[in-house]
Chains A and B, each alone.
Chain A
Amino acid sequence: MSQINLSEVTKDYKIRIRNNNRSKIADFFRPQYDIKRAVDNVNFSVEPGEMVGYIGPNGAGKSTTIKMLTGILTPTGGQVSVFGRDPCRNRKKNALKMGVVFGQRSQLLWDLPVQDTFELFKTMYKMEQGIFTKQRDRLVEMLDMSGFIAQAVRQLSLGQRMRANLALCFLHQPEVVYLDEPTIGLDVLVKERIRDFLKQINKEQGTTILLTTHDTQDIEQIAERLILIDNGQLLFDGGRESFHKQYQGTEFMIEIEFVNPTAELVHKNFRTHKVEGNRHSYWVPYSKMGRGEAISYVANDHPVADIKVSELGLEDILKNIYAE
């Protein structure tokens, strides 16, 4: 049975229309509203232990979906089910089995040491002392928090606070974790540590992770499955590999540095991109020629100093999709 299930889910917001042609007095007494559909007929389900990247441009409906899954928002239409229950009607029950991180919103007690928030969460999530101590020590080690666990939260850096928030989110060993841009504003080292941590905890505890992010490295390294949403509509749901296949385009680029200046190559499958002295680049259709075949063709006939095959990266693919 799926842990998370969304069936024909929609969420509408009432947005005030500000019409410059209308008098301010009329606008004050009879404001006009429009309905904006933030999530439009979205269907997907997530199985236990999956790591899902929930991606899309700003305003696509990602956070709204997560808020419906956590029970913060009530859907306008359709059905949301988490652990087989309606999250809005079963907030307390579901909260015991889930963890959430909303970007840079901290869950920590600002003026007190990090360890005090851990203690509070122990009581809040009804954890036994033994399990609590073991899990806390493990998280402290995994996220390298021993240097600041006894420090007041207000004295921590953003990266330290984010690590502490993540640890807190996983403290009660939740079955499902929603991470809404957990690496926003962090430096590369902290990002790397967080990615490693998420992969490890998913592997060891089988935690289901639904991650929204704009960092393509997060997606590449963490998510096995991608769900793409734009304008509230689901555009793609599948494995990372099939996402690449579907969106990477029909051609790859082969870039060659010849040992000597060489004339433009003439081949029915090569479309010239650039020829500058001994540096050439060509577009090659996937359907006509494999990457290996193209490399062999080039290297067999000419002395080659360097050769490189480029495909669209996830960032390029997303840029193209968002721009459409």
Chain B
Amino acid sequence: MHTFLLFCKIVKYRFRSIIEYPGAFIGGLAAQWLAYGIEMMMLFLIVWNFGTLAGWVPEEVIFLYALWLLSYAIAASFTFNICRNFPQMAINGSLDEAFIRPMSPIVYLIATTYNLGYISHIMITTAALIFSISRLTVVWSVLNWFWLFLLIITGAVIQGCMMLICDMPALRTRSQSPTGMFFWDVNWWLIQYPISIYPRPVQLLFTSILPFGFIGFYPVQVLLGKQEGILPEITIWLSPVVAVMLIFITVLCWRGLTSRYESAGT
């Protein structure tokens, strides 16, 4: 409980630090709204003109995209800056500070590098989510609302953990990790669509080693009443399990990669 309260307090001060520069903050928000608004409109127009995408109607594709972007925005709020800073932490020894605090170093770093800029993504995707929910033919029971909430959280955890796992090798290599670059490209260009549009080997990859399918594609099917993919039906319920597994893998990677941390001269 203390760790949670401390985490929230660090984020609160980080928030206050960011809004010390209101011009930069508001300008950033406006730019993101414009960029993502156009991207979302383009996606909608493409799917609208195609009619369906591997059996997914435009509202469903927008719903999937909005969930992916929302969970990405929540994850990136906490992990984007830390991932970008890994090489410098190793080079200039700024990781030292995290090791002398009475809390988990990774939790400390996540809190102290919180990025408020992603609030623009969260706002625009929330609007897209409301739009798509209003047009979907889903019966919104309490359980469905709960599942929606859970899949946003698990999607964020999966994306956040995958970002950290892929970028963390930079602590050793001291430059941006190739796995990190790979993650950003795949996540950005391939995952916003239903993965059933890809060949079976790619689907298998996104369901196993790179579990991008569990961010949105599989769990969304619970709500949409679909059963697609290359694995048994239970797969659509597995996102929370994948999220927990990824947390463990992230912690293991962190421990392994920081065990031989060498700091830098002071």
Q: Which residues of A contact B (CB under 8 A)?
A: 13, 59, 63, 67, 70-74, 91-93, 95-96, 98, 100, 102-103, 105, 107, 109-112, 116, 120, 123-126, 152, 180-181
Contacts and interface: CB of A to CB of B under 8 A. Distances in A.
A102 B266 contact: yes
Given A63-B266, A74-B259, A116-B13, A124 B6 contact: yes
Contacts of B9: 120, 123
22 contacts: A13-B262, A63-B266, A67-B263, A70-B99, A70-B100, A72-B96, A72-B99, A72-B100, A72-B261, A72-B263, A73-B262, A91-B100, A92-B102, A92-B104, A100-B100, A105-B94, A105-B266, A107-B97, A109-B17, A120-B9, A125-B102, A180-B266
Contacts of A93: 102
B103 A73 contact: no
B13 A126 contact: no
Given A72-B261, A95-B101, A67 B96 contact: yes
Contacts of A107: 97
Interface in B74-114: 94, 96-97, 99-105
A73 B95 CA distance: 11
Nearest to B99: A72
Contacts of A110: 17
Question: Could you say which of B13, B104, B261 has the most chain A C-beta atoms within 10 Å of its C-beta?
Answer: B13
A210 to B, nearest CB: 14
A211 to B, nearest CB: 14
Contact of B17 (A59, A73, A112): A112
Interface of B: 2, 5-6, 9-10, 13, 16-17, 20-21, 94, 96-97, 99-105, 259-263, 265-266
B266 A73 contact: no
Contacts of A103: 266
Contact of B13 (A96, A98, A120): A120
Contacts of A59: 265
A73 B5 contact: no
B86 to A, nearest CB: 17
Given A96-B102, A112-B17, A116-B16, A73 B97 contact: no
Question: Could you say which of B10, B261, B266 has the most chain A C-beta atoms within 10 Å of its C-beta?
Answer: B266
Contacts of B10: 120
Given A111-B20, A112-B17, A92 B266 contact: no
Given A109-B13, A110-B17, A95 B102 contact: yes
B213 to A, nearest CB: 37
Contacts of A126: 2
Nearest to A97: B102
Contacts of A124: 6, 101-103
Nearest to A99: B100
A102 B5 contact: no
Given A70-B99, A91-B99, 16 more contacts: A70-B100, A71-B99, A72-B99, A73-B261, A74-B260, A92-B103, A92-B104, A96-B102, A102-B96, A107-B97, A111-B21, A116-B13, A120-B9, A123-B5, A125-B102, A126-B2
